Structure 1
Amino acid sequence: MTSKYRRGFDITYDSLRIFTQRPTLLILPALSLLTVGSAFAVLGAIIFQQGLVESLLTNDLYKYSVLFCAIAISSSVATFFNAAVVHCAAQLFEGNSTSVRDGLAAAWHARRQIAIWAAVAATLGTVLYILDEKFGVVGSLTRAIFDLAWALLTFFIVPVIVLDERRSLRRQLRRSGSLFRDTWGESVSATLGVSFVFLIVALPGIALGAAGYFVLDGVVAVGALVGGGGIVVAAIVGSQTASAIVRTALYRYATTGKQVGPFDTRDPDTVFPES
């Protein structure tokens, strides 16, 4: 059991090496954040222009509709750009050249599956929010349990959408869940490894922002807040990129048995053993 977690951390380390060799992949999650921010700004402007702020506070239909739109936007955009990273990572693992443009083209090719996935995620997210809001502790508990189960079931959903031949969402979810079940130890420890690394990266930014808000004054405070925020955003972007690379590495080896990318120096009998 311990060896599974250790392999996950080894995969994290090796995948971060791939990440540092192709820093241009950072462009993709950065574009994701920029696109989501712009879309939310437009959505907010429409709400204010149409005078719907009060309606959002008093009318459930308006509130839930806006919530659905917000989840659909963030889910579709994040999945699209993560799909681009996954494609690029898969190409690198195969020893092929790739580019940001190639990744975007691959994500665009899978746009229909991404749109379906975003619609399902938005629907479920809205329903769970309603349960949480309307049914008190029972609703909150139901939402927490379902959120965890959904996160595990969909751990490999982006690699499956981009790299798998399955076009049915039901089959994609089954495939993602099956892959996570087979590699749960490595997947959990690899995720923790990425989170830990980029938490360390973000800590100076958090400290700088806190100093700017609570301690410093004037222009220096503004500079500290901006600088700290920039570091935190950079850590978020890096974490998203590295996570996509790690999941692609896990997916490729689990599905093909090939020694690709971060596994090229490892004995295949020590990674995802049969017993």
Structure 2
Amino acid sequence: MRLVRRLTTGFDLTRDSLTVLRNYPTLAAFPLLGGIGTLAFGAVLYLTVFVVDLVGGWLTLGALFGFYVVTTFVASFFTAALVASVDDVFHGREPTVRAGVAAAWAIKRELAVWAAISAVVGVILRSLERSESLLSRYAAGLFAVGWTITTLFVVPVLVFEDVSVRGMFSNSASTFKRTWGETLNANFGIGLLQGVVWLGGVAVIVAVGAGLFSLVPWLGTSTVILGVIGLSVAVYLVGRTVTDIVKTVLYVYATEGTVPPAFADFDFETLEGRVEASTASDDADSPTT
């Protein structure tokens, strides 16, 4: 019963977040800009890492560190811009790309620190994963899961709070602890929706492409290739935006106790174990047979 309740709340959060995106499509500009920036810098830096890797040694680790720093900073910067813009929506302000970027720029130093720390961890994990020791690879996998959980809300923490490096991680972990069920199940719902939409879209594109191929082969092939690429980009942008909307609303409620108007129909009393507490109370009050 609790699992069903958790899944339901996760899907409800996803639905309301999609409504926010539909009303404010400008929000999707941030993951688009972040994706373009990450690909642009990442391609150059990855090529550098690949070339340096032929030499090996500490030079490889240094190049890899630079790759992680830049790509993490770019991704985090536009995530911060999106989180700030979602907060504008929650407070009745019209979100703009300029305002979101300005909010992220205001915490550029904090984001750079986060990117550097994340890069160090990334280099360490990569070294462990490439180790010949099975124990090292197993430890790397476990640490990667814990790291992901602990840092899931780091960007919202940096956007909304003035915290130390230690506070960045402790507040993020605390927020996840209070919202873990909704966070995991909302992510599951978003991933499931992305998969269904992508597969359905690909089926339609292939069907159309096949029809065109019988008439004009090059047109049919081009339709399938461009259609799948366009669909993949669209699905990614919607999924990324909705994920950060969910993350922001959970953070705002967990830390401020306020319910954004767009989520007025969502029962936030499911957070922080109150569902379990109320269920236990109901069971205690029910007559025994």
Q: TM-score band (shorter)?
A: 0.7 to 0.9
- Residue deviations 1:206-244, cap 9 Å, x none? 5558x98xxx76453244222211211221121111111
1:26 to 13, 25, 28: 28
Residue 135 of structure 1 and its aligned partner are, at CA, apart by 3.7
Q: Which residue of 1 aligns with 2:97?
A: 100
Gaps of 5+ in 2: 278-289
Residue in structure 2 matching 1:12, options 14, 27, 33:
14
Aligned to 2:107: 110
Structure 1 Cα separation of the partners of residues 50 and 173 of structure 2: 40
Return 1-10 or 248-257, whichever deviates more.
1-10
Distance (whole Å) between structure 1 residues aligned to residue 29 and residue 13 of structure 2: 23
| CA RMSD in angstroms, aligned pairs only | 2.5
The 1:138/1:261 distance shift into structure 2, 3 A limit, reads: farther
Note closer, same or farther for the CA distance 1:204–1:72 as it changes in structure 2 (3 Å cut): farther
Structure 1 counterpart of 2:230, which letter? G
**Residue 130 of structure 2: SS of its match in structure 1?**
helix
1:188 aligns with 2:184: yes
1:15 deviates by 1.3
Q: TM-score, normalised by structure 2?
A: 0.83
2:158 aligned with 1:165, yes or no? no
| Distance (Å, rounded) in 1 between the aligned partners of 2:223 and 2:7 | 41
Larger radius of gyration: 2
Question: Residues 76 and 115 of structure 1 are in contact (CA less than 8 Å); yes or no, is this contact kept in structure 2?
Answer: yes
CA distance 1:268–1:131, shift in 2 (3 Å): closer
SS at match of 1:134: coil
Letter matched to residue 170 of structure 2: R
* 1:198 matches 2:200: no
Q: Give the structure-1-normalised TM-score.
A: 0.87
The 8 Å contact of residues 205 and 229 in structure 1, kept in 2 or not, is answered as no
Partner Cα distance (1:251, 1:84) in 2: 15
**Structure 2 residue identity aligned to 1:233:** V
- Quote the residue 1:83 is aligned against: 80
Q: Quote the Cα distance in structure 2 between the aligned partners of 1:191 and 1:255.
A: 20
Query: How far, CA to CA, are the matches of 2:84 and 2:170 in structure 1?
Result: 21
Distance of aligned partners of 1:257 and 1:205 in 2 relative to their CA distance in 1, 3 Å threshold? same
> How much has 1:67 moved relative to structure 2?
1.9
1:171-213 residue CA offsets vs partner (Å, 9 max, x unmatched)? 111001011111111111011111111222322465558x98x
Alignment of structure 1 residues 116-265 onto 2, 5 Å: 116-166=113-163, 168-204=164-200, 218-265=218-265
Aligned residue in 1 for 2:42: 40
| Identity within the alignment, % | 32
Residues 56-103 of structure 1 show CA distances to partners (whole Å, capped at 9, x for unaligned) of 224133322222222212211111001111001111112222211111
